[in-house]
Chains A and B, each alone.
Chain A
Amino acid sequence: MECEQIRDEMVMFLDNEVSDEKREAIQAHLDSCADCSSELESLRSFKQLCQDWKDISPSREWTLEFRRKLANAREQPMTELEVLRAAVIGLSRRVRELEESQSLFPPTLESEIMTVDELARYLRLSTEQIFDIIDQLPRFQIGYEYRFKRESIDQWIRSLEQRPYPQKYLWGDWSGREE
């Protein structure tokens, strides 16, 4: 009867999870009971055996991979400051667009390099029309942005002046498309 109870408490006993009182009581029983004492040894060697399942170490990539994930995770939720900043940038861009469209600040054509909008104004065309014929224009790209050198555009205009056919041909369309 007592042995049964002791055996239930043996795991706790080896895990140091019993009170001092209990520890003494169990120890006293073990000293007098060979069966229980050999059971305890068997349990002890089982726990020893479990320690043969060795630890693994983090891989070389662990830290790098973790940093990457952390950077991603920190990007997602924007702070209030970041939200406001994005809004201000968006607004000021819109203000500039409106200002330009209302010609409060007409683009200066003194510059040697023109944007698509500036070129459109220069040629008295719409931005859309510029994009339609963009393949035929002397141009260069910075990233996704088209830029035009005024000198090259002027040269291109001169070459058009010498051509005999109507300028509409540029859009590959003889019928209609009257501006």
Chain B
Amino acid sequence: MLNSSEDSYMAPTDEELMLKVKDDGDGRAFELLVQRHRKPILNFVYRFLCDQEVAEDVSQEVFLRLWASAGTYLPIARFTTFLYTIARNLCLNALAKSRNAPSMQSLDETDTEIDRQMQGKTADPSGSPEREVIGKETERMIMEATGKLSPEHRLVFILTEYHGLSYQEVAAIVQCPMGTVASRKNAAVRQLRSRLASLRE
């Protein structure tokens, strides 16, 4: 069976689409880019900010910013580098905003917030009920542990571990040398392993 034209081997690359957006203000090309990347971007923001509701909002902002700053896109950069750089900036803004907010969350409150988040998640239909409970508990603990990493470490960890980006691309996104990416990843993994030690038998 044939796939839709978008999936066929003739499908335009992200870079080609982005150039159409930049040069012609092509709305159709933009829509395709949004379709392809909204889920990964949503998850990137979600894992960084640990808040599903805020992630919806910020992920939409990312694509608004993408549209507005299309003129600054240079075809020498990978599209994902461009997109994740925007996402990273907006994530850091959102983080600063939540820190400056008058109601400083205590650690306990953060925990209940995460609980609330976890309850809202849709159940995985393939897993058995017990597995599901254990899975959610695991998820909660990973979320909590990554939430305690510094923003710099968290960025590197999420981008390499959940988005499969190379150290080189991450270095371009977070604007630091590749060696720094490697050492941040190492440090992040070390911290997470010690925090999550109880989860591993």
> Are A11 and B142 in contact (CB-based, < 8 A)?
no
CB-CB contacts of B140-166 with A at 8 A, as 1s and 0s?
001100000000000000001110001
> Are B39 and A52 in contact (CB-based, < 8 A)?
no
Q: Which residues of B contact A50 (CB under 8 A)?
A: 142, 161-162, 192
Could you count the A-B residue pairs with CB atoms below 8 Å apart for me: how many are there?
88
Q: How many residues of A contact B (CB 8 A)?
A: 28
Q: How many residues of B contact A (CB 8 A)?
A: 39
Chain A: minimal CB distance from B115 (Å): 15
CB-CB contacts of B162-201 with A at 8 A, as 1s and 0s?
1000110000000000000010011001001100100110
> Are A70 and B139 in contact (CB-based, < 8 A)?
no
Q: In the bound complex, what is the Cα–Cα distance between A50 and B191 (angstroms)?
A: 13
> Are B160 and A15 in contact (CB-based, < 8 A)?
yes
Q: In the bound complex, what is the Cα–Cα distance between A178 and B101 (angstroms)?
A: 62
> Are A43 and B189 in contact (CB-based, < 8 A)?
yes
Task: Say which residue of B39, B42, B47, B67 sits within 8 Å of A53 (CB atoms).
Answer: B47
B residues adjacent to A (C-beta < 8 A) = 34, 38-39, 42-43, 46-47, 52, 55-56, 59-61, 63-64, 67-68, 121-122, 124, 135, 138-139, 142-143, 160-162, 166-167, 182, 185-186, 189, 192-193, 196, 199-200
A residues adjacent to B (C-beta < 8 A) = 8, 11-12, 15, 17, 42-43, 45-47, 49-50, 52-59, 61-62, 65-66, 69-70, 73-74
